[in-house]
Chains A and B, each alone.
Chain A
Amino acid sequence: MSNSVADTSTASSVTKKRDLNLKKRYAAERRFRAMGIGAIAIGLFFLAALLFTVVSKGYTAFWQTSIALEITFDEGVIDSAKKRVEDPNILLMANYPRLARNALQSQLGLEKPTKPILKQLDGMISNGVRVQLREMLLSDPTLMGKTQKVWVLAEANIDSAFKGQIDLSVAEKNRKVSDAQIGWIDDLNSKGLIAQKFNTGLFFNGASSRPEMAGMGAAIIGSFYMMLIVLIQALPIGVAASVYLEEFAPKNRWTDLIEVNINNLAAVPSIVYGLLGLALFINIAHLPRSASLVGGLVLTLITLPTIIIATRAALRAVPPSIRSAALGVGASKMQMVSHHVLPLAAPGILTGTIIGLAQALGETAPLLLIGMVAFVADFPLTPLDPATALPVQIFMWANEAERAFVERTSGAIIVLLMFLAVMNIAAIILRKRFERRW
């Protein structure tokens, strides 16, 4: 009895004495946690900084200043000799900006303006008014001689001034907007004749040297063609290559070599692919420069290794027991792959493909080399027409000096980021949808 009591007391004193190093272990854990949180905080800070600068600079690009004008389609200005029936060119060549200037002049109540004043009046209105009014008249010839209220784009500097982006304390000769123009803006504003409207042109217009008319329409279409070309080429080729390597090819030195090479290809700087594309597709195959077809081919080469690596990982993640099960009931290898392995790997393949596409969408350098930095004002109707791409458009706008292009550059970056976000969300949704939870 007494013996056993003594035993327990020694046992408990031993337990007390045991030092399991707990303090140190917990301290290490806390340190590690703090470091992890710190790392995430740094990442979030830079992400927030990036988004803040881009959005704060770029959100104004989605609005564009327009001026309401009572335009009179004055026959005396458009076709004073009344020859338009014989010569349709007259309607094409007519001085439409003069109509706009006249309208603005009478709206501001300026009588007998001097030449410099006229010039400043011209400077209020975007040159895009020429096309706008011409299209109106051509589609409805009965407008001739009539007066109609038309919203026309303001010139880029007027737009900047109206948005409050121009520093008015600077001496008049050192800024792009004159005091008279500021006065007119205020005058129009008080009459409700100047306003910011949603900038559809940003999405639908082609390239233009006038910022207020410049849009990324051609770039969006070019990027769309290229994504399509990449998708229809890289996905089947990538999946076929991965399935062969993973399921059919013998494991020997050759397949090892191929594997190493594919992994290395994924790390090759994309500009090298641009050089390859230039040499192969343009100089040898004589495909047209600046075409989205060539861009798509180059981007396919860049995307392939990504898709192959992702697909192989997805195939490898399919449990071998599924393969044995299929073979065990007498499925051929092809049936095993198409009935069981590929469906199970599909979510992973899909994610890899979308990530590859997103990577291709943001690729700039190789496209510069194959001439996609072209000034493309017209929409590319086919992938063989000259086009540019979204990131290239951003690059080109970033090189422009005018203040209004800065805003557009950021606006285009926002659009590109949105496309990327949409693609990534699509990847997540598709993966969730196809993922087998059983």
Chain B
Amino acid sequence: MNTNIKQAEIDISDQYEKMRGEKVNVSYGDKQALFDVDVSIAANKVTALIGPSGCGKSTFLRCLNRMNDTIDICKVTGTITLDNEDIYAPSVDVVELRARVGMVFQKPNPFPKSIFENVAYGPRIHGLANSKADLEEMVVTSLQKAGLFSEVKDRMNEPGTGLSGGQQQRLCIARAIAVQPDVILMDEPCSALDPIATATIETLIDELREKYTIVIVTHSMQQAARVSQNTAFFHLGELVEFGTTDQIFTAPIDQRTQNYITGRIG
């Protein structure tokens, strides 16, 4: 099994490595959720994390911006680096890390504030804008990048929670972009959306890839195949196979990967 991963790594060795997990072990209390996971996240690529429910995809994703810190019983060991710096080192400030590694959640979770405030919140707390006009421009660009601006430009002061599910999710993406992160983590961002909204967001992800590194958890094989360049397949807390999306979907090496993508486990 180890050899499989090695081989996969060779396939992506030409890509700049934005983040890297090495021997990542995570346990919730006595229950271990991840076993020695090694993953390399290439810059300006979309990396998809796939696998059956409960295999630890969200757990791994949360390690990448230390959202696991907020869970009392969660213990993370191993190294995870961002631009070759250990993000779990004591010198690293979580707040700064999360400004560099943004997150979009499974269920759209806009703040119960206006659309403008939702997007402006991140830049405001990080002091990214020098003036009011500056801030407004940031909000507009972020909404444009998230493909939401034309729909909400007349109702910036209306509550973000009043938008449709797909619009809310794009608002959350705009909120994440506004902080100008390097990496955006997305945990099943389309699971609550209809096919049309899903398609909008998939297009969006493809566009965002130019500026950002994206890690996405998804249950849809088609989605992984459509939007991602690299794919990691998790099973029961282990990373079974990791490689380019083409390779994983056309010539999987491990039998379990084969079974999963053809729908025999999961």
Measured CB to CB, the residues of A under 8 A from B are: 250-251, 319, 321-332, 335, 339-340, 344, 436, 438
Contact = CB atoms under 8 A, between A and B. Distances in A.
Nearest to B66: A327
Q: Which of A324, A339, A436 has the most CB of B within 10 A?
A: A324
Q: Taking chain B's interface residues, is the majority helix, strand, or loop, or is none over half, making it mixed? A: helix
Contact of B98 (A319, A328, A339, A438): A328
A170 B67 CA distance: 85
B110 A325 contact: yes
Interface of B: 65, 67, 70, 72, 95-99, 102-105, 107, 109-112, 121-122, 125-126, 159, 161-162, 172, 175-176, 178-179
Contact of B65 (A321, A326, A328, A339): A328
Contacts of B172: 325
29 contacts: A250-B72, A319-B109, A321-B105, A321-B107, A321-B109, A322-B112, A324-B70, A325-B109, A325-B172, A325-B175, A326-B111, A328-B67, A328-B103, A328-B105, A328-B176, A329-B98, A329-B122, A329-B125, A329-B176, A329-B178, A330-B95, A330-B102, A331-B95, A335-B125, A339-B121, A438-B112, A438-B159, A438-B161, A438-B162
Given A330-B125, A335-B125, A325 B111 contact: yes
A329 B179 contact: yes
Contacts of B105: 321, 324-325, 328
Contacts of B111: 322, 325-326, 340
Given A329-B98, A330-B95, A330-B179, 7 more contacts: A324-B67, A325-B111, A326-B111, A327-B70, A328-B102, A330-B102, A330-B122
Contacts of A331: 95, 121, 125
A329 B121 contact: yes
Contacts of B110: 325
Nearest to A323: B70
Contacts of A251: 72
A204 B145 CA distance: 67
B133 to A, nearest CB: 21
A326 B179 CA distance: 12
Contacts of B126: 330
A317 to B, nearest CB: 13
Contacts of B72: 250-251
A321 B109 CA distance: 6
Listed from nearest, the 4 A-B pairs whose CB atoms lie closest are: A438-B159, A321-B109, A330-B99, A329-B122
A332 B112 contact: no
A436 B110 CA distance: 14
Interface centre among A322, A332, A438 (most CB of B within 10 A): A438
Contacts of A326: 111, 121
Given A322-B111, A335-B125, A438-B162, A329 B67 contact: no
A340 to B, nearest CB: 6
B162 to A, nearest CB: 6
The interface centre, meaning the residue of A321, A329, A332 with most chain B CB atoms within 10 A of its CB, is A329
Q: Which interface residue of A324, A325, A326, A335 has the most chain B CB atoms within 10 A?
A: A325
B109 A324 contact: yes
A139 to B, nearest CB: 60
B165 to A, nearest CB: 14
A399 B112 CA distance: 55
Nearest to A249: B72
Contacts of A325: 105, 109-111, 172, 175
Nearest to B118: A325
A333 to B, nearest CB: 9
A223 B96 CA distance: 50
B98 A330 contact: yes
Nearest to B162: A438
Contacts of B161: 438
A258 to B, nearest CB: 16
A340 B175 CA distance: 15
B159 A329 contact: no
A327 B95 CA distance: 8
